[in-house]
Amino acid sequence: MALRIYNTLTREKEEFTPISGKDVGLYTCGPTVYNYPHIGNYRAYIFSDMLKRYLKYKDYNVNHIMNITDIDDKTIRQSQVEHKSLKEFTEFYTEAFFHDRDLLNIIPADTYTKATDYIPQMIKMIETLLDKGYAYKTQDGSVYFDIHKDKEYGKLSHFKLEDLKENAGGRLKKDEYEKDNAEDFALWKSWDESDGDVFWNTSLGKGRPGWHIECSAMSIDKLGESFDVHTGGVDNMFPHHENEIAQSECATGKSFVKYWMHNEHLLVDGHKMSKSMGNFYILKDLIDKNFDPISFRLWVYASHYVSKANFTFESLNSNQIALNKIKEFYLDLGKEMGIINDNYKNLFIEAMDDDLNTPKGLAVLWELIKDKELSNKDKKATILDFDKVFGFGLSNLEKEIIPIEIETLAKERLLARENKEWQKSDTIRDQIKSLGYEIKDLGNDYKISKI
C-alpha cells in the first residue's frame, strides 16, 4: 500500500515517492526561542514527530532537521527587555523546549541547527542572490529580495502579485507580516542602534540576517538543494515558507522541496489563542492542572492534521481518561508477547496511508482493544506495533522506575569502571545499595533493580 499525503504546493493528495529511494530528508520549522512554545506550536511538533514515526514505520530512512531560531526581531527585543546577552537568553528557552519535547515523547531531531551557527551559509546565499540580480542593496546597507523578479512568487500560498499593486515596490524590514503587505523582504538587515550588541561583521557589512533566509540556508546545508518534505504550522505558510521557496529556488535554480505539509491552527475555546484573550497556554499550564503531557498527544491525534482543532480543557480531560484506559488495558494484557495481528495492522496502515488519518488510526486501536477473540499476547504485540507511530510510550510502562539519583550514581560508577577506578566504583556500589538498589554489570552496561 502506498502512502498518500496532502501537498500544500499542489493542493492535492499525492502518492509519497521520495527523491532518492527509501531516504527521506525532512525539515521542520522549529521554535523561535524567545519564550516557552505554546500548545499550538506543540501541535505542529507532534504532527512532524508522528509523520517521522510513520515514515520509519514504513521503512524509510529519515534524516530529520529542525532549526532553532536564536536570532530574529523577537529574540533581540526580548533579550534586551530581560537585560541578558542574546546567547544566554536563547539558550534558556532552547533548554525549556527540549524539556517539553521529552515530556511529550517527541523523538529528538537528528540535528538541531541553531541559526547563529550558520551565518556564513546565509551570507553565501545572499551573495548568490545579489549576483543573480534577485536581491538589491539599499543605502543603509540592508539587502532585500525583489519579489517581482521571481516569476513564481506566491506559488505556495496561491496569490498573485498583480493583486498587490498598491504595495508594489515597497520594502519590509520586519520578519513577520500579513499576506496583504507582500513586499520585498529583508535578507540582511544592516545594524542600527535597536540591535544593540547583536551583529556580525561580514562581506555584506555590519548587520544580521533576516528570519526567512535562516531556514533556507540551514535546510540546504543539511539536506541538499532539493529535499523531500518540509513541515510547519499553517501560519508559517506566508510569508515564511513562501519566502524560503523564493530565496532557495532563485539561488540554486532547482526545485526546493517536493512535499510541503502544513498542520492547521489550534484554536482555544473557538478562538485564536492570544495572551490578551486569556486563552493562551503553554505545556506547563496543562501539567499544573494535573494532565499527563501524553494526553495532549492523544488530543492532537483526535483531529486530522489538515483540520482546525478546538482545544478545551473538557476535551483534554476526555483524552486523559481515554489515555488512562489505554494504559490500564495494556498493563492488564500480561507479560507474554505474541505476534502482530495482520488484519488490524492492515487496517491501521490503510488509515495512516490516507494522509496520516490519526482519528481513523485511533479507531482501529479501540477496535483492537474491544476485540473479544484475539489473545492478550497478540493484542499486546499489535498495540506495541501501533505505538511506534502513536508514541504514547507504552513499552516504558512495564519498566521499573529508577529514581534519577540512582541512575546518576550508576552512570558515575560506569565512568569510574571505564577509568579503572575500582575503589571508587565499589564505594558507589555500596552507596547505591544503602539506598535500596542493586547494580549488576553487563559488559559496558549495567542493570539496576530494587533490593
User: Should residue 250 be labelled a site residue for Zn ion when binding is judged by CB under 5 A?
Assistant: no
Question: Which of the residues 393 through 432 are near Zn ion (CB under 5 A)?
Answer: none
Q: Are strands 266-268 and 200-202 parallel, antiparallel or unpaired?
A: unpaired
Q: Which is nearer to Zn ion, 240 or 417 (by Cβ)?
A: 240
In one-letter notation, the amino acid at residue 259 is Y
Cα–Cα distance, 242 to 362 (Å, whole number): 34
Cα–Cα distance, 337 to 394 (Å, whole number): 14
Site string for Zn ion, 177-216 (x = CB under 5 A): --------------------------------------x-
Q: Which is nearer to Zn ion, 147 or 428 (by Cβ)?
A: 147
Q: Which is nearer to Zn ion, 150 or 242 (by Cβ)?
A: 242
Q: Which is nearer to Zn ion, 215 or 257 (by Cβ)?
A: 215
Cα–Cα distance, 427 to 17 (Å, whole number): 56
CB of 256 to Zn ion, least distance (A): 12
CB of 160 to Zn ion, least distance (A): 24
Q: Which three cell numbers stand for residue 446?
A: 549495567
CB of 260 to Zn ion, least distance (A): 12
Cα–Cα distance, 287 to 84 (Å, whole number): 28
Of the candidate spans 23-31, 71-79, 161-169, 388-396, the one that interacts with Zn ion by CB under 5 A turns out to be 23-31
3-state secondary structure of 402: coil
Q: Which is nearer to Zn ion, 7 or 341 (by Cβ)?
A: 7
Of the candidate spans 25-33, 124-132, 201-209, 406-414, the one that interacts with Zn ion by CB under 5 A turns out to be 25-33
Asked if residue 136 lies in contact with residue 143, where contact means CB atoms within 8 angstroms, the answer is yes
Name the packing angle between helices 358-370 and 313-332 (round to 10°): 40
Of the candidate spans 24-32, 105-113, 378-386, 434-442, the one that interacts with Zn ion by CB under 5 A turns out to be 24-32
Asked if residue 224 lies in contact with residue 258, where contact means CB atoms within 8 angstroms, the answer is no
Question: Which of the residues 128 through 147 are near Zn ion (CB under 5 A)?
Answer: none
Q: Which three cell numbers stand for residue 100?
A: 517539553
User: Should residue 29 be labelled a site residue for Zn ion when binding is judged by CB under 5 A?
Assistant: yes
Residues 6+ apart with CB under 8 A from 209: 71, 115, 119, 122, 126, 187, 188, 189
User: Should residue 115 be labelled a site residue for Zn ion when binding is judged by CB under 5 A?
Assistant: no
Q: Which is nearer to Zn ion, 29 or 217 (by Cβ)?
A: 29
User: Should residue 245 be labelled a site residue for Zn ion when binding is judged by CB under 5 A?
Assistant: no
Q: Are strands 135-137 and 171-172 parallel, antiparallel or unpaired?
A: unpaired
Q: Which is nearer to Zn ion, 44 or 347 (by Cβ)?
A: 44
CB of 263 to Zn ion, least distance (A): 14
- Helical H segments across 118-160, by residue range: 119-131
* Distance of alpha carbon 293 from the chain centroid: 16
Binding footprint of Zn ion on the chain (CB under 5 A): 29, 215
